[in-house]
Amino acid sequence: MPDGRVYYIDHTNKTTTWTDPRVAGPTVPYSRDYQAKYHTFRRTIPRPKAHVGPQVELHVDRKDVMETSFRVIMSIKDVEVLKTRLWVVFDGERGLDYGGLSREWFLILSRQMF
């Protein structure tokens, strides 16, 4: 408005007013305590599955990574096992997989796929 006052229009109710309708009304009283909210939250979240082990080991042949990886992964019946840490072992090679062998396995596998 020319005098600097703000004019509010409520398009939902088709009303106009000089006072801000968003701040009008009584405040909502606090209805539940923390303990009740906490217990409700704990009841609604899903329970964790039984622990299946720290890792899944893939023993693969370096000459045919795609075929042996597919065979090993498809032989795993429990889906929860596939959610654990991946531990790659190349047949006939010694080495501890602290990320490097898994990275190499993914690289070789992606190259054989595409």
pLDDT for 3-14, tens place per residue? 778 888 888 888
19/25 Cα distance (integer angstroms): 12
What is the predicted pLDDT for the residue at 7?
86
Domains (range + CATH), the chain:
8-44 (no CATH), 55-113 (3.90.1750.10)
CA 18 and chain centroid, separation: 47
Number of alpha helices (DSSP H) and beta strands (DSSP E) in the chain: 3, 4
pLDDT for 85-108, tens place per residue? 888 889 888 777 777 888 999 999
* Pair of tokens at residue 77: 């019946």
What does the mean pLDDT of the chain come to? Answer: 82
pLDDT for 105-114, tens place per residue? 999 999 998 8
